[in-house]
Amino acid sequence: MLARMSSEFVLARMLFLCNYALVNASEKPLTVQEFARLGGHARAKKLGKEKLKESARKAAEARWAKRKAELDQDVKRAKKLTKETRKLAKLAKAREKKRNG
């Protein structure tokens, strides 16, 4: 019977059954994000403190490296715009001299 069902249906059914088993009757059902959070807590318990710290450090370094790359691109764009602005200012001055001149 499972072979005929679509994978989305099977996944939805499994999620429903897990959700039904985990939640008391008085609480609202868990969302997908809340299920994911449960997995993160389980992984944190499984890893030792040192490995968890190392993983967090690597993640932070990756985030900062990405941000640094974005900032470097912004600096390059600003320098390019500054050069173009200077060129335009020189052209404007030359035009002004021609008019007055």
DSSP characters over the chain: -TTTS-HHHHHHHHHHHHHHHHS-TTSPPPPHHHHHHHHHHHHHHHS-HHHHHHHHHHHHHHHHHHHHHHHHHHHHHHHHHHHHHHHHHHHHHHHHHHHH-
Per-residue confidence (pLDDT) for residue 86, from 0 to 100: 87
Per-residue confidence (pLDDT) for residue 68, from 0 to 100: 92
pLDDT band at 35 (very low <50, low <70, confident <90, very high): confident
pTM score, two decimals? 0.41
Per-residue confidence (pLDDT) for residue 7, from 0 to 100: 65
pLDDT band at 34 (very low <50, low <70, confident <90, very high): confident
